[in-house]
Structure 1
Amino acid sequence: MNVSMPVPPQNLEAERAVLGAILRDSDVLADVLAVVRPEAMYFDHHRRILTAAVDIAQRGAPVDLVVLYDELRKRKWLEDVGGETYLIELWEAVPTGANAAYHAKLIADAALLRSLIHSANETIRDAYSPTAPAEDLLAQAERRLFAINADNGADVAPRCVGEVAREALIDIDSRIAAGATLAGLSTGFVDLDRMLGGLRPGQLVVIGARPSIGKTAFALNVADRVASGGAPVLFFSLEMPAREITDRLISMRSGVPMSRMGRPRDLRPDDLTALTDAAAELSSTPLYIEDAGDVTAARVAAVSRRACRRLGAQLVVVDYLSLLRPENPKENRTLQVGTLALRVKQMSRSLGVPVLLLSQLNRELEHANRRPRLADLRDSGEVEQHADCVLFLHREQNLPVDDPVWPVEVIVAKNRNGPVGEIGLAYRRPVLRFENAAVGR
């Protein structure tokens, strides 16, 4: 038994109307291209006609019956599109070009539906014959879906600076009305907020340090302070399980050292009270931990997208860059890390949330008694290029390592929206807590 496949979504009359409108008034071509590209046309002869019209316009020539006829003849497309007779039919199909943009939107909608069908079919094919883990296939399916909107046949229309300026003023007014003092989320550290202006939507903030200086603890302090203010946070822990991250949070909040938490018999009654209170506070804190290891940047983006949509996540933390699985295992490490950093940056922009990306530094710095520089970011200089801000945590190596409170510098080595410089914090190592303080205090 033959089963006929349904006809894909398309709109013949809308395509004819758009082409006729362009022939009537070539000025509407710009309006049409703001909505659809030639590839959005379902019918091949219409796609060829619009392609020819676009090329004519790009040369600065008018798009009319005579010029289009000549262009199609030169390309040997004239007979394929129906000849001179069909061009005249298109010209006669509409009286004016007034509704071209509306008809173009109908074409774009049909093209979008076809893209959705194609994406769904590819996902079904992959699911029936899996060549990768199920989670990777899920991430791939989500990437396909969300890529459709970025490539649905429309040109990106340039925005008038006046319109953007008005939006900026409205944003400033709304922040003033709300009593906000920063352009983004507060890190909880006064001097750092003053330099960065907060963690801004779409920003990629890279945090680097030598081993055991407190990268994860610092990022966790920022995440906890943001979440405590009511803004949901998604924390990717690629190195430690969620339980270990939560233990650190409890220690930070309770003031009970991690070492004592690991020895229950040493806990005092007041420790137990503090731990109970801290756990109760965390139960209502919108901080979400994803501890799946061996994940790709695509998987991070997919989970982050869902967290933004379902949980309202306003900050994403990735701990850390080198533990993300590269897209192409055959590439050299420099290219791999550069691509991973680019994917995380693209994610931050598409989601409109700041992302903290932790990164290791080159091993040479571990043996050099100097402050870190941008060139010390491990494996790839592209990490610096893709970052909006780069922060280094630094502690002088000649200081005693067994002091319970370490003076730590946060070096703002790159800052697209403000100054660079250093601020001082105190790192209370036993409880993994960073606090506002001057260096060396």
Structure 2
Amino acid sequence: MNYENPHQLELAIIGQVLNDSAALQIPEIRALKPEHLRHHSGVWSAILDIAAAGGDPSLTALASHVGRVGWPTYIGVADLPSLTAYSAPLRELPAAAQVILGAYRRDRAMHAGGDLQRSLADPEADHLAAITGAQASLTELIGLAPRDSTRSIADNVGPALERLLNPRAYRGVTTGIPGWDSVLGGWKPGTLNILAARPSMGKSLLMGQLAQAAAQGDAKGPARALMFTLEDSPETLQMRVLCRMAGVAIDHDREPTREEAQRLRNKEEAFERFRPYWLVDEEHTLDGIISACWRQHAIAPLGLVLIDQLSHISADAPRTRADNRNQVYGYIAKTLKREVAKRLGVPVILASQLSRDVVRRADNRPDLTDLRDSGELEQDADTVTFIHRPEYYDKNDSPGTAELLVRKNRNGATKDVTVWASMRKFKFWQDAL
């Protein structure tokens, strides 16, 4: 995208909004007013009117605005497709909006300065009024400048103190496993959390269980969870949930007993309680995932985002990173943390695989160096948890048990959490068998 061409930048923003209205949820885009767009103010005004009326901005919706007051005369119905000739990745739109605002501020400031200069050159003009007018114009422009995020460390200490004195009141979204909640304090807003394991260790199973725990909720109530199922199909996810709720173990070479079948049928209605709180999506591109998160968060606030898994996400990484898988994964993680976790204020759980090095180790217990092709994940993640099932390597070693190894916890201790595990019942749990 050419950041030196305001005309192209405006079209890139308009094109992306018409392709995906989630772009309007970006604060920098929402802040753009029609007068800020020098070349397409009438089109932008129509888009904002459509959105304000609860509509979805599209070429079809714009067609009804052609010819109205304020609409550019050089754009007819046949010309509307040209508005989508340019588009930009969602992550680049905030910067594009700032460039457009910068150009608007510069033009307005030069105009105000020119008016003041002409007034001061006129001996009969009211110089004080001219200076006051210029001052008012420039003060207005200061309000459009990028927000100054600098503040004193002494400002507003109360909330930080309250979190220390009453930590239970600030627990995040529950994991559904008490010992894990005790270590992490739940999934905290704005954090990137890595869940990693070797293939077939139970990673996807646990990701689904975490989404279910969030949707079921705890004493604080349910949290709206959006899960990207890049590893398994939604149908597979549904089968696992049914078995987990009914307590039925699945063997692919036998049909369930009559009693098991009835228990499974009885749980079908229980799915209705998940309808508003558990969403699934099979989008696999980085921009598509971000767009889906913003769109759903605009409909109703999200409480948790889960992505299973990192290696299945496709992304247009910068050229300097594109040939290095480690850097690509790091780029994906950084972008998800910035554009989803931080911008929306929701916790993100990202599943990742471990390298084969852990298999060669005598005790097979993973550590942070085993994050596969993704050393940058360690520095970007707020928490890192590994799944370790001894019976994965030796069927006679502690069968039916697993450990959740918390190896990084930015705001707390690291600890091993012992749990029961059944791959046939699709469940990790801590209560008695």
TM-score range, shorter chain: 0.5 to 0.7
Correspondent of 2:368 among 365, 369, 374: 374
State the match for 1:352 in structure 2. Answer: 345
State the match for 2:208 in structure 1. Answer: 220
State the match for 1:258 in structure 2. Answer: 250
Q: CA deviation at 1:97?
A: 9.7
2:322 is the alignment partner of 1:327: no
2:256 is the alignment partner of 1:267: yes
Query: What runs of 5+ residues in structure 1 fail to find an aligned partner?
Result: 1-6, 13-35, 51-79, 109-152
State the match for 2:8 in structure 1. Answer: none
* Contact 1:405-1:428 within 8 A present in 2 as well: no
* Contact 1:185-1:200 within 8 A present in 2 as well: yes
Correspondent of 2:236 among 241, 244, 252: 244
2:293 is the alignment partner of 1:304: yes
State the match for 1:291 in structure 2. Answer: 282
State the match for 1:193 in structure 2. Answer: 181
Q: CA deviation at 1:399?
A: 6.2
Query: What runs of 5+ residues in structure 2 fail to find an aligned partner?
Result: 1-32, 39-97
Q: 1:11 to 1:411 in 2, by over 3 A?
A: closer
* Contact 2:37-2:100 within 8 A present in 1 as well: no
* Contact 2:390-2:397 within 8 A present in 1 as well: no
State the match for 1:139 in structure 2. Answer: none
State the match for 2:21 in structure 1. Answer: none
Q: Distance in 2 between matches of 1:90 and 1:297?
A: 56
Q: Distance in 2 between matches of 1:220 and 1:90?
A: 70
2:415 is the alignment partner of 1:424: no
* Contact 2:105-2:141 within 8 A present in 1 as well: no
State the match for 2:29 in structure 1. Answer: none
Q: 1:163 to 1:272 in 2, by over 3 A?
A: farther
Q: 1:10 to 1:193 in 2, by over 3 A?
A: closer
Q: Distance in 2 between matches of 1:291 and 1:85?
A: 61
* Contact 1:209-1:392 within 8 A present in 2 as well: yes
Instruction: Give TM-score, length-normalised by structure 1.
Output: 0.65
SS of structure 2 residue aligned to 1:192: helix
Instruction: Give TM-score, length-normalised by structure 2.
Output: 0.66
Q: CA deviation at 1:193?
A: 1.0
Q: CA deviation at 1:282?
A: 1.7
* Contact 2:245-2:267 within 8 A present in 1 as well: yes
Larger radius of gyration: 1
Q: 1:186 to 1:90 in 2, by over 3 A?
A: farther
AA paired with 1:241? S
Q: Distance in 2 between matches of 1:372 and 1:248?
A: 26
State the match for 2:406 in structure 1. Answer: 412
Q: CA deviation at 1:340?
A: 0.8
Q: 1:349 to 1:232 in 2, by over 3 A?
A: same
Which digits, 9 at most, give the CA deviation of each residue in 1:383-419, with x for residues without a partner? 1111000001112368643899521111111101100
Q: CA deviation at 1:429?
A: 1.7
AA paired with 2:355? N
Which digits, 9 at most, give the CA deviation of each residue in 1:150-200, with x for residues without a partner? xxx423332444544234467789x89xxx555211111111111111110
Q: 1:324 to 1:10 in 2, by over 3 A?
A: closer
State the match for 1:143 in structure 2. Answer: none
Q: Distance in 1 between matches of 2:352 and 2:193?
A: 10
Q: Distance in 2 between matches of 1:368 and 1:172?
A: 39
Mean CA deviation greater in 209-218 or 85-94: 85-94
AA paired with 2:258? P
Report 1:3-402 matches (<5 A).
9=35, 40=102, 42=104, 44=106, 46-47=108-109, 85=118, 92-95=129-132, 103-104=140-141, 108=144, 153-168=145-160, 181-229=169-217, 230-259=222-251, 263=254, 266-285=255-274, 286-292=277-283, 295-328=284-317, 330-346=322-338, 347-369=340-362, 370-396=364-390, 400-401=394-395
Q: Distance in 2 between matches of 1:363 and 1:395?
A: 15
Q: CA deviation at 1:203?
A: 0.8
* Contact 1:203-1:353 within 8 A present in 2 as well: yes
Q: CA deviation at 1:211?
A: 1.4
